[in-house]
Amino acid sequence: MVMGDRPDVETSSPPEAALDLFGLAGQLGVALGRAPLKPPWRGPFKTLSANVTANLTREMIRSFMGYSTSLRIEDFRSIEMVLDRLSSVVMPPVIASYNVSYEVASVGGVPGIWYRPDGVDEPRRTIAYFHGGGYVGTSPWMYAAFTSAIARRTRCDVFVADYRLAPEFPYPHGAEDGMTVLGALVDSGIPASDIFLAGDSGGGGLICSLMHLMDYFEAQDLAGVILFSPEVDLVLDQPSVADNASHDILPWNIPTSAYLRGDGHHAFVSPLIQDVSDWPPTYIVYGADEMFRDPIRQFVDHLEASDVEVEAVEVPGMLRVCPILMPWAPPSHKTFRDLQRFIKAA
């Protein structure tokens, strides 16, 4: 399921969706033309081809996000449905290539997809994964390759939740779905000590909300938390938001009001002002060139000051959610090795 499949979510008509897709294709064409204009010898990698690929990734994603956020929400939902359907057709062979099986299912009534590594004896550990998308977009199918890779490398079962998104379902609906998933996993017989919470971008921010909603003992019982470029501050007043705007994949006018509809300083959505002393061991990876770099640095300091066992990796020259967008890059390979070690040690 994707947001457009929900009965109470509006989508545009087929002709309107076709026009929007045509417009998106034009924007991506411009991005293809712009990518080679950035000197490849100034990139973070040792080879020109790798730097050209990184530039192309940055321009394509930025163009997609910028175009998408300019649409009416019903138009955006229609494009999202097309991409979700396409992913559901293209991804199964990719999933199988990782020696991973998948199952479209629900946990506690929250839809999603299970990714389970083949040939792994019981008992397995479980990762509850919350996808990114700025609290407004994407779906479990769009994360199939990345979460299959996580399942294969960590030998964990991974459930990717299709939680409710804004603006149709602003905060706290997504967080409520997250609490439902976590409770249902425990009720199914999986010990909390065998459950990791993981997420990227808005999904990482959602996990921070979950940690705030849990009581002290519930949080302490978890195996760990894994965050890829989490959105830990929605006020957007840190220097890196402006300083890295030309380097990152996000549009310069990042929308947050659709999700919040309120105060970005509230502890429910900003772990920078939460009591985080109850957090379990935490692994965080983010790029030095991403717009949310400064608040993530501040969050890491906050965790360390609260005596939380935290491993934080700031990757030089890297943009946002690098392991997801550029899995071929050497820093992404290191992230998977670190993740494997972190889960084994937890």
Q: What is the phi/psi pair of residue 317, to 5°?
A: 75, 5
Residues 4, 1: Cα–Cα separation, whole Å: 8
**What is the pLDDT, as a whole number, of residue 173?**
93
Residues 6+ positions from 121 with CB-CB distance below 8 Å:
none
Element (H, E) at 115: strand 110-117
Residues 6+ positions from 179 with CB-CB distance below 8 Å:
210, 213, 214
Classify residue 3 by its DSSP letter.
G
pLDDT digits (tens, 9 = 90+) for 75-124: 999 999 999 999 999 999 999 999 999 999 999 999 999 999 998 887 68
Beta strands in 162-309 (DSSP E): 195-200, 224-228, 282-287
Residues 51, 43: Cα–Cα separation, whole Å: 5
pLDDT digits (tens, 9 = 90+) for 197-212: 999 999 999 999 999 8
Residues 234, 271: Cα–Cα separation, whole Å: 10
Q: Let me know if 334 is exposed, middle or buried by CB neighbors in 10 A (0-12, 13-18, 19+).
A: middle
In the chain, where the domains are located: 98-345
CATH superfamily of 98-345: Alpha/Beta hydrolase fold, catalytic domain (3.40.50.1820)
**What is the pLDDT, as a whole number, of residue 260?**
77
User: Which residues of the chain have a pLDDT value below 70?
Assistant: 41, 123, 216-217, 219, 252-257, 262-265
CA 244 to chain centre: 19
